[in-house]
Amino acid sequence: MCQSCVVGNASILIHSQTEGTKMTISMYQASVPRLINALTNLSNVLQKAHDHMTEKKIDANAILHYRLYPDMLNFTRQIQIAADTAKGVVARLAGVDIPVNDDTETSIAELQERLAKTIAFIGSFKPEQIDGTEDKAIVTKRGDKETHYKGMQFLLGHAIPNVYFHSSMAFAILRTNGVVIGKRDYLGNP
């Protein structure tokens, strides 16, 4: 049980008073493997969705365009945003350009291809490109609005929660449409 968490210069230091041990988690460890895991699990769930639609003879558009509520984004956008957020945080932390996607996917296979490209991009980074970025200035723009973060704040307070949120919404859409998936599918093999 973590009793206190202290941010160090190059890592997140977690100290457990009950066990008297210290564990260091680097920015790389907190980002790249976790994001790859989340996107891999999402890709595996997409395969189960494809299999479900094939078996039940369901038009893919019924799920690709499905929204949990009229003012929410559809399934396709949930996948796109999860992928974009994951690649965006790693690129920003490493100081490289973020690959641009055209958001033209119209099938499960195309969404899986997008996830595969994103996983490959994220997996290409080395720890030395990400570690030490806890205090790096990160600026995001959405329309005219700029939001300023520090690296760790952006990773832990914005990007990772967004990847999990959009993955969860995609997961919920699939469950709502009868795809047989459960918590193990969401968690995968961390």
Confidence at residue 15, expressed as pLDDT on a 0 to 100 scale: 52
Q: How far apart are the first and last CA of the chain?
A: 19
Q: Is the pLDDT reported for residue 119 higher than 70?
A: yes
pLDDT at 2 over 90: no
Residue 188: the pLDDT is 87
pLDDT tens digits for 45-97?
Answer: 999 999 999 999 999 999 999 999 999 999 999 999 999 999 999 999 999 99
Angle at 169 between CA 84 and CA 111, to 5 degrees: 45
CA distance 109 to 12: 37
Question: Which amino acid is located at 139 in the chain?
Answer: V
Q: Rounded to 5 degrees, what are φ and ψ at 140?
A: -110, 150
